Amino acid sequence: MPAPVDTQVELTDYNHAAASTYDGIEPHRNEPLPSQESFSLPPTDGGKDAWLFLFACFMLEGLIWGFAASYGIFQEYYSTYAFVGQKNIAVVGACAMGIMYMSIIPMFVLLKFFPRLRAWATPVGLSIMCLALGLGSFSTTVTHLIMTQGIIYSLGGGLAWTPILFYIEEWWVRKRGFAYGVTMAGLGLSGAILPVVLQWLLEEYGFRTTLRVCALSFVILNFPVLFFFKPRLPLSQASQSRRFDMSFWTCRKFLIHESTIVIQGIGYFLPAIYMPLYARSLGASSLQSTVTVILFNFAGFVGCLSMGTAVDRFDVTNCLCIAAATSTLAVFLLWGFATSLPVLYVFCVVYGAFAGSYSSSWSAIMRDTKEKREHADLGMIFACLSAGKGLANLCSGPLSEVLLRAGSWRAGVAYGSGYGALIVFTGASALLSGWSYAAKRIGWL
């Protein structure tokens, strides 16, 4: 346990570093605090409590988002066995991820105006998610799945996840990019483990039992970590202002980065959804097709950690340019020419690592935007970035159905497999997502 710190100095240091997150105003270093209570606070950026809190964020991210990111396994099962011939199966996964990304804005507003609800948001949200999976197990049509495994699950997940935005600003100040990177990496690691479990459950017991087991597992795995998921500051010190400054929407830097997130997101989710099906078209077994999702998500785990560390040291535009360029090459040269499983596996690793790292760059985008609009709320900036990715995800589901119906191209290798339009669209979105670097070169950033 770290040595107790002086209350007056510790609280003033925090307010200097992070008050702008909530109030948009930095108090003078020697300004006395409203309360003269005598108590000690754990240190920021390290120490047992900060690391345990970050572990809780990692676990919540992994279980909330990792399940939704593994929808490709359900997509294959639903298309092949449970709901053969029914349309809009891909919409289930698009809703689960897309609406969850977009719901962070209203959830953030709710928890900012009613700060006492923050302590209850995560357990209530997790309960809604469990209920959604339980109800989903009774589905008889794809519409039922969209409502339960898609919409209700996403709303519960958004509510459960949003308190991270308030608490992480209190616990991690100087190493915030690293903290966000570790948090986002939870999705990648769980996304590498869950597909194996889900594939086995679906094959042995069907989707109804699988969804019920997942609902029970959420209770067993999520709720114990809530003991470490807590704020660093007393509520009276962390929520003095409830106003919003949305002036960052007039900041050109923010708008450019927001546009790249939307462009990249429209194509990013397509490989994750269709990799198992494409692997099956190459003659892969169930396990071999599941490996595509495992590699994709585990590579994202490594990519998020790397990007989170990189943006604390280097310009975020340069980091995103490298990610965009490598993702583009991976799509056109690896997936486009993947006529065997080894090449497809290499694509999953390369694309997953670079395309999957984008979310870890958001802390740097938030920081750079705040330098231009000092009164902007960091949490709301994150929520808007998340909404952009969510909007792209929602569009990608129906769009993918259209692309697949485009028919086979008169081309060789993967481009002529029936997935040609999907491959080209994914590569084009990856390429255009790097346009922020061009904007920087011509002086717009």
The amino acid present at 221, given as its one-letter code, is L
Handedness of CA 41, 43, 49, 50 (dihedral sign): positive
Which of left, alpha, beta for 294 (phi over 0: left; psi -120 to 50: alpha)?
alpha
Number of H helices, E strands in the chain: 18, 0
Inside any domain, residue 99: yes
Q: What is the token pair recorded at 355?
A: 């395309």
Question: Burial, 87: exposed, middle or buried (Cβ in 10 Å; 0-12, 13-18, 19+)?
Answer: exposed
Inside any domain, residue 32: no
Rounded distance between C-alpha atoms, residue 142 and residue 160, angstroms: 25
Inside any domain, residue 76: yes
Tens of pLDDT, residues 353-391: 999 899 889 989 998 998 888 888 888 999 999 999 888
Handedness of CA 358, 360, 362, 364 (dihedral sign): negative
Q: What is the token pair recorded at 439?
A: 């904007």
Distances, alpha carbon 274 to alpha carbons 96, 296, 399, 424, 431, in Å = 16, 12, 13, 14, 20
Write the DSSP string, 131-198. HHHHHHTT--SHHHHIIIIIIIHHHHHHHHHTHHHHHHHHH-STTHHHHHHHHHHHHHHHHHHHHHHH
Inside any domain, residue 35: no
Angle at Cα 95 formed by Cα 93 and Cα 98, nearest 5°? Answer: 105
Inside any domain, residue 368: yes
Rounded distance between C-alpha atoms, residue 260 and residue 112, angstroms: 27
Tens of pLDDT, residues 153-200: 999 999 999 999 989 988 988 888 888 888 988 888 888 888 889 989
Tens of pLDDT, residues 319-348: 999 999 999 999 999 999 998 999 999 999
CATH classification of the domain holding 250: 1.20.1250.20
Check whether 62 has a pLDDT greater than 80. Answer: yes
- What 3-state class would DSSP assign to 18? helix
Angle at Cα 251 formed by Cα 310 and Cα 267, nearest 5°? Answer: 60
Phi, psi of 341 (to 5 degrees): -65, -40
Domain assignment of residue 105, given as a range: 48-441
Inside any domain, residue 373: yes
Phi, psi of 443 (to 5 degrees): 90, 15
Handedness of CA 301, 302, 308, 311 (dihedral sign): negative
Check whether 3 has a pLDDT greater than 50. Answer: no
Contacts of residue 259, defined as CB under 8 A and 6 or more positions apart, other chains included, come to 388, 435
Specify the number of domains making up the chain. 1
Q: Model pTM?
A: 0.81
Q: Looking at residue 164, what is its pLDDT? A: 93
Confidence of residue 52 (pLDDT cuts 50, 70, 90): very high
Distances, alpha carbon 55 to alpha carbons 64, 185, 193, 353, in Å = 14, 11, 17, 21
Contacts of residue 7, defined as CB under 8 A and 6 or more positions apart, other chains included, come to 37, 38, 39, 40, 41
Confidence of residue 89 (pLDDT cuts 50, 70, 90): confident
Mean pLDDT of 437-441: 91
> Are 397 and 270 spatial neighbours (Cβ–Cβ below 8 Å)?
no
> Are 324 and 353 spatial neighbours (Cβ–Cβ below 8 Å)?
no
- What 3-state class would DSSP assign to 162? coil
Inside any domain, residue 167: yes
Inside any domain, residue 5: no
The amino acid present at 15, given as its one-letter code, is N
Rounded distance between C-alpha atoms, residue 298 and residue 289, angstroms: 15
How many residues are listed for the chain in this entry? 445
347 vs 88: which has the higher pLDDT: 347
Tens of pLDDT, residues 106-147: 999 999 888 889 999 999 999 999 999 999 999 999 999 999
- Of 427, 378, 98, 432, whose CA–CA distance to 254 is shortest? 378
Check whether 19 has a pLDDT greater than 60. Answer: no
